[in-house]
């Protein structure tokens, strides 16, 4: 078994940007992404003794981060739809003895600011896709936006699956750079 040591003193310099970029794409909220990366570093510190050196430090931290992201969504989804319901007993003469159910606003409803940000992000994504080479843009759109399966795309463009994933990777990298310049 390999004996690799890890150095948490270098994690922030080496991995924070990568982990943040990985997270922001998945949670779409800067503060939550920052919190999840911080939780990942903390969990890594707590479980350093479990690091076996079978993967790189970064891969190990990403695996912790993936679990943190999953936990985040589980927590959100377990709270969705559970808007508080209050029931008041009315005693105003005319409706005496009636129970009145009041629904409290769901805190997970989209607000106007969130809708504006989503619209602006959509425009930024569309503009960035327009800057990709034509073939790369079409393949990226078919796979990530339209949800075509790998085989269908490979057949249409006469490429191998590994070539497809190289194209997708390059498109994602270019999109991330473009969005970093034009959106954040």
pLDDT in tens, 9-62: 888 888 889 999 989 888 888 999 999 999 999 988 888 888 887 888 888 898
Q: How far is CA 67 from CA 2, 60, 64, 127, in A?
A: 25, 11, 5, 32
As a whole number of angstroms, the distance between CA 57 and CA 51 comes to: 8
Query: In the block, which residue shows the tokens 């602006």?
Result: 120
Model pTM greater than 0.75?
no
φ and ψ at residue 133, rounded to 5 degrees: -60, 150
Q: Write out pLDDT tens, residues 82-136.
A: 544 455 555 555 555 554 444 455 555 555 455 555 677 778 888 889 999 999 9
Q: Residue 83, SS3? A: coil
């Amino acid at each position: 078994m390999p004996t690799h040591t890890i150095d948490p003193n270098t994690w922030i310099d080496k991995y924070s940007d990568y982990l943040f970029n990985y997270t922001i794409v998945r949670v779409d909220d800067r503060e939550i992404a920052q919190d999840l990366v911080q939780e990942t570093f903390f969990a890594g510190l707590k479980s350093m003794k479990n690091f076996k050196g079978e993967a790189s430090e970064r891969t190990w931290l990403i695996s912790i981060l993936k679990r943190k992201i999953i936990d985040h969504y589980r927590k959100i989804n377990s709270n969705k739809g559970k808007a508080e319901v209050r029931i008041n007993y009315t005693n105003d003469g005319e409706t005496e003895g009636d129970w009145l159910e009041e629904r409290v606003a769901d805190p997970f409803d989209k607000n106007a600011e969130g809708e504006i940000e989503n619209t602006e992000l959509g425009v930024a994504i569309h503009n960035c896709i327009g800057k990709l080479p034509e073939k790369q843009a079409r393949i990226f759109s078919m796979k990530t936006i339209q949800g075509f399966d790998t085989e269908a795309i490979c057949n249409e463009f006469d490429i191998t699956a590994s070539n497809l994933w190289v194209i997708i990777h390059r498109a994602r990298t270019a999109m991330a750079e473009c969005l970093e310049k034009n959106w954040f």
